[in-house]
Structure 1
Amino acid sequence: MSIDAVVLAAGRGTRFGGDAPKQYLPLDGSTVLARALDAFLAHAAIRRVVAVIGAGDEGAFRAAVGPRADRVEVVTGGDTRQASVAAALAHLAVDPPERVLVHDGARPFLSAALIDRVARALDDADAVIPAVPVADTLKRIDHGRVAGTVPRDGLAQAQTPQGFRFAALRAAHAAMPGGATDDAMVMEAAGHPVRVVEGERTNHKITTPDDLPAARLTYPAVGKGFDVHRLTPGGPLILGGLTLDAPFHLAGHSDADVALHAITDALFGAIGDGDIGHHFPPSDPAWKGAASDQFLAFAADRVRAAGEICHVDLTIICERPKIGPVREAMRRRIAEIVGIAVERVSVKATTTERLGFTGRGEGIAAEAVATILRS
């Protein structure tokens, strides 16, 4: 399965105003467009990334994205969003992907988890969009007066990246003369059902000058955690917040839940707040035999004081026990402790092909990555 990404950056930002298009403006040591591109360049599932820019913007593009320019294919866009997408699709058609994601270059805070959700939903759909429910009361205005209240039930704000089967999207664009404000609208006009997945309220679009200072108040951060514990005879086994029936257990000062320890350190790392040994030193008898869920809950609270937990990705490395049968229960338990939706928790397992201490069944290792949005 091949997935390519198209990042639209040809707009002139007439609603934003100013001397430079909004996608080229600085944002926390980078630029709006560079942050949008980074999400796709760093994602393992994306084969190639195409940036659609305005005519004559080559120099501004290179200045805004720096060395990333050498990893991005550049296409000159048209006068409308739909014309720019059509130009990108024609470029991709030389070596067409099975699927394509189309993203606004003025949305700098998309997450890897959001890309995953859209891409996975294309397994049995031709068109997928992320969306968030409308939270505000909607009023219809006529000549400066309220003409009525619009019921918000069933209404949602569409976001990007929007995902499509490439062939279906290209055919739909060819059949629609123009006027579409997003690619889902093109697919709707062609008669394709459009699936909706959960969007992210942090996936802001920079549209007006007020949006940029607000965006600068938050930025994504990633932390990584790794832990190892030795296996000893006698059960039960505490792993991933679960108590498992096994003839062995993990040895340590606390309950030695290697999975929760790795996630805890990943959360601490994302906010630069030391590590689990700093907050819960093994020399302190208070933590003798302690349940590791309290360590993880503490770390999650520390992160929430500084921002929002977006996603947790855990990999358990062991020959035994088998993680597959308890994977979903482990995801639910971790989500419960951390206080996020289960869709934001990934649990994977692998072996070392019987090499090393994990391969000999002497211990279990775990690695975790936590993605947060910092205030």
Structure 2
Amino acid sequence: MELPDLEPTLGAVIETDRGSLPFSLIHGESLIACAAWALGDAGVQLVDFATSWAALSEADEPLVLHDVLCPMTPAWFIATAAAQSASSGSVVVGVRPVTDTVKSLSEGMVGQTIDRDGLWQVTSPLVLPPEVVEAIGEGLPTTDFAELVGHLSFAGFTVETVEAPPEGRRVATPDDVRLLEALTAG
């Protein structure tokens, strides 16, 4: 798929608070390496997440946050999300449909099955326009993308979701990594 032309855009792979899974191998490479390559292939300038938030804000460029646990997110999807954010001025986040059965819980008792048609799992990327990077101030309040999306929405920023392709799914266990590797083989 052809990549859209991007204005200068910074990006960081987020691996904080994700345990040792980012160092697992998929197709013979670590998840963290695959995620970093996807950002680079998308035309995003990779910065170390240890870069000060003030420096990121002063750059006055969009910031693409890429979750290391979505290592096979295609470069074209990352670039498309970044282009959508630049066009709309909104925060843009990748999501996948929820496929697990979801139950309600009331007073410690499992209740009815919740209709999952309106449910989405936050994946990657999460694109922050320059104005949002500046408004955040001292840095991200959390590295959990779902919590961060809630925080940004509550703070009044417009958040747009875009459905990620199946290979953009988030992994949580070594078995998930093996499944993603099979899905993206060949």
| TM-score relative to the length of structure 2 | 0.80
Match of 2:64 in 1: 101
CA positional deviation for 1:202: 1.6
Match of 1:204 in 2: 169
> In 2, Cα distance between the equivalents of 1:200 and 1:30?
21
> In 2, Cα distance between the equivalents of 1:136 and 1:158?
14
Match of 1:140 in 2: 104
1:42 equivalent in alignment to 2:41 = yes
Q: Return closer, same or farther for 1:112/1:106 CA change in 2, 3 Å cut-off.
A: same
> In 2, Cα distance between the equivalents of 1:10 and 1:180?
7
Match of 2:9 in 1: 3
- Among 129, 132, 137, the alignment partner of 1:165 is 129
> In 1, Cα distance between the equivalents of 2:10 and 2:101?
37
SS of 1:153's equivalent in the other structure is helix
Which structure would you say has the larger Rg?
A: 1
- Deviating 4+ runs (over 6 angstroms): none
Select the structure that is richer in strand: 1
> In 1, Cα distance between the equivalents of 2:135 and 2:79?
25
Q: CA RMSD in A?
A: 2.7
> In 2, Cα distance between the equivalents of 1:39 and 1:111?
6
> In 2, Cα distance between the equivalents of 1:210 and 1:134?
18
Q: Return closer, same or farther for 1:150/1:24 CA change in 2, 3 Å cut-off.
A: same
- Among 48, 53, 58, the alignment partner of 1:89 is 53
Q: Contact conserved, 1:3 with 1:99, CA < 8 A, in 2?
A: yes
The runs of 5 or more residues in structure 2 that have no matched partner are 1-6
Most deviating of 153-162 and 179-188: 179-188
Which of the pair has the greater relative contact order for Cα pairs under 8 Å at 6+ separation? 2
SS of 1:41's equivalent in the other structure is helix
Match of 1:151 in 2: 115
The runs of 5 or more residues in structure 1 that have no matched partner are 14-20, 53-74, 76-86, 220-373
| TM-score relative to the length of structure 1 | 0.42
